């Protein structure tokens, strides 16, 4: 990952891939042109790298020149008008190949056609290293295309973000999500996850998602999801993975601008952990850590029975349901310890003590991430 100005970018197209794409372009163009001596016209600034690498590989005699895109701001109040300048050479009767680093909307290409309209060239062909088909809004033919890319902002290999990044030999794509702290708060029922999450979300400006709370909210409002979840929850069993995963994805989507999340009660199975990694990956982010509150079983049972006296939760009222939830936790969920340990992201924290003491222990882990 790299940072240019205020933004983070991730590796996208390697120098080797670029090199191979240029080889193909050279091969196609030289085959089409035969012994004709073409004039390659690079569009500055972006295409300086492409033009240089391309002509070094071109196997036959050729000429090289550049034109430059210049902005004239303020001609019309809010419009930024771009003009190509610098075409001084007489190109009458010549075969001209435009070398573009990237074609997205096609605005520059319209400019190319405008300035070549009155040049009596023999042929005008367009070659571009990168092409964004989803962004392209013009009808001009693209004769040679190196690599098609999605409509995302890229830098490197001549392309810049506010003037930085042109020098990079490979191409990077902007990260969708700039920087997030995503915590999985873990621990058996009654370990104090909910209480600690309240403190941590304030302290680190995170969004707290408790899957248990979301299910309970749905049950209270008698939604279809609530009805479905209730039968499992009342027994202390886990709600099926796909139902839970879909619900979690929706909760994360609702908070697209978050600094990060505290996941509480999720993931609880291997499938959920994998789904969470995929979800984070789709946001160009990752789980930063799993922090587990470690509390002895008998302490848990006593805490939950006490909570049941006031919480009104059916699954807190009965000792055998409580024990089933704890057993469920160790049976299905404790394997997640291995999942996150394998990624060096597991942190166990002693969950016995005062609320403040435990918050401090958790903060020490987060501050060290």
Tokens linked to 190: 């009654």
Q: Is 239 in the site for ligand AMP (CB under 6 A)?
A: yes
Question: Binding pattern to ligand AMP, positions 322-341, x when CB under 6 A?
Answer: ---x----------------
Q: 268 catalytic, yes or no?
A: yes
Nearer to ligand AMP, 238 or 291 (CB): 238
Task: Mark out the alpha helices in the chain (DSSP H runs).
Answer: 15-33, 48-57, 107-116, 193-204, 211-220, 224-233, 241-254, 270-282, 297-311, 314-317, 319-328, 335-341, 355-367
3-state secondary structure of 182: strand
108 binds ligand AMP (CB under 6 A): no
d(CA 142, CA 256): 37
Number of residues lying near ligand AMP (CB under 6 A): 16
Does position 42 interact with ligand AMP (CB under 6 A)? The reply is no
Tell me the closest approach of the beta carbon of residue 232 to ligand AMP, in angstroms. Answer: 5
244: contact with ligand AMP by CB under 6 A? yes
Q: Are 48 and 29 in contact (CB under 8 A)?
A: no
Q: Which three-class secondary structure state does DSSP give residue 103?
A: strand
CA R_g for the chain: 30
What span, in angstroms and rounded, lies between the C-alpha atoms of 288 and 203? 16
Identified binder of ligand AMP from the candidate list 47, 95, 272, 359, rule CB under 6 A: 272
Whether 83 sits among the annotated catalytic residues: the reply is no
Continuous segment of H or E residues that includes residue 338: helix 335-341
Helix, strand or coil, per DSSP, at residue 258 = coil
In the shown chain, the binding pattern of residues 192 to 231 toward ligand AMP, with x for contact by CB under 6 A and - for none, equals -------------------xx--x----------------
Catalytic residue among 283, 313, 332, 337: 313
Q: Provide the pairing of β-strand 123-131 with 144-148.
A: parallel
Residue in the block written with tokens 């680190």? 204
Nearer to ligand AMP, 8 or 232 (CB): 232
User: Which residue, 265 or 351, has its beta carbon nearer to ligand AMP?
Assistant: 265
What is the number of the residue whose Cβ is closest to ligand AMP? 212
Of the candidate residues 232, 274, 277, 283, the single one contacting ligand AMP (CB under 6 A): 232
Per the listing, tokens 């404790």 go with 334
Rounded least distance, CB 327 to ligand AMP, Å:
11
Among residues 233, 293, 295, 358, which is the contact residue for ligand AMP, using CB under 6 A?
233
- Non-local (6+) Cβ contacts of 325 within 8 A are 188, 189, 236, 315
Using CB under 6 A as the binding rule, the residues of this chain from 148 to 167 that contact ligand AMP are none
Of 140-148, 161-169, 220-228, 235-243, the segment contacting ligand AMP by CB under 6 A is 235-243
Give counts: helices (H), strands (E), the chain.
Answer: 13, 15
Interaction between residue 189 and ligand AMP (CB under 6 A): yes
Output the CA angle 113-117-121, nearest 5 degrees: 100
Whether the Cβ atoms of residue 191 and residue 270 lie closer than 8 Å to each other: no
Q: Which of 7, 57, 307, 337 is catalytic?
A: 307
Nearer to ligand AMP, 146 or 187 (CB): 187
Sheet holding 260-264, edge to edge: 207-210, 260-264, 181-186, 289-294, 346-350
323 labelled catalytic: no
Residue 200's SS3 state is helix
50 binds ligand AMP (CB under 6 A): no
Known catalytic residue at 114: no
Active site annotation includes 325: yes
User: Catalytic residue numbers?
Assistant: 193, 268, 307, 313, 325
Q: What is the binding site for ligand AMP (CB under 6 A)? A: 189, 211-212, 215, 232-233, 236-239, 244, 265-266, 268, 272, 325
């Amino acid at each position: 990952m790299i940072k240019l100005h205020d933004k983070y970018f991730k590796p996208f197209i390697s120098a080797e891939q670029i090199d191979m794409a240029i080889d193909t372009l050279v091969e196609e163009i030289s085959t089409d042109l035969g012994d004709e001596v073409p004039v390659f016209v690079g569009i500055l600034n972006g295409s300086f790298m492409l033009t240089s690498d391309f002509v070094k590989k071109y196997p036959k005699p050729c000429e090289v020149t550049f034109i430059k895109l210049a902005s004239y701001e303020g001609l019309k109040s809010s419009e930024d008008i771009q003009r190509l300048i610098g075409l001084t050479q007489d190109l009458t009767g010549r075969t001209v190949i435009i070398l573009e680093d990237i074609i997205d909307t096609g605005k520059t290409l319209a400019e190319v056609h405008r300035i070549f309209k009155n040049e009596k060239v023999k042929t005008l062909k367009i070659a571009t290293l990168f092409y964004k088909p989803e962004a392209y809004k013009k009808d001009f033919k693209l004769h040679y295309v190196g690599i098609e890319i999605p409509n995302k902002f890229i830098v490197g290999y001549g392309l810049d973000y506010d003037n930085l990044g042109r020098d990079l030999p490979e191409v990077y794509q902007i990260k969708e999500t700039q920087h997030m702290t995503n915590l999985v708060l873990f621990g058996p029922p009654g370990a104090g996850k909910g209480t600690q999450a309240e403190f941590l979300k304030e302290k680190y400006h995170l969004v707290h998602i408790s899957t248990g709370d979301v299910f309970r909210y749905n049950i209270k409002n008698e939604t279809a999801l609530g009805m479905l979840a209730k039968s499992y929850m009342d027994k202390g069993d886990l709600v099926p993975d796909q139902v839970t995963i879909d619900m979690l994805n929706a909760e994360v989507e609702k908070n697209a601008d978050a600094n990060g999340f505290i996941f509480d009660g999720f993931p609880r199975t291997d499938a959920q952990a994998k789904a969470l990694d995929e979800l984070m990956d789709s946001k160009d982010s990752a789980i930063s850590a799993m922090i587990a509150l470690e509390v002895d079983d008998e302490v848990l049972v006593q805490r939950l029975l006490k909570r049941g006296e006031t919480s009104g939760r059916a699954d807190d009222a009965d000792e055998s349901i409580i024990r089933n939830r704890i057993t469920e936790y160790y049976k299905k969920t404790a394997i997640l310890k291995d999942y996150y340990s394998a990624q060096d992201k597991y942190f166990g924290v002693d969950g016995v003590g005062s609320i403040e003491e435990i918050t401090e222990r958790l903060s020490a882990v987060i501050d060290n991430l």
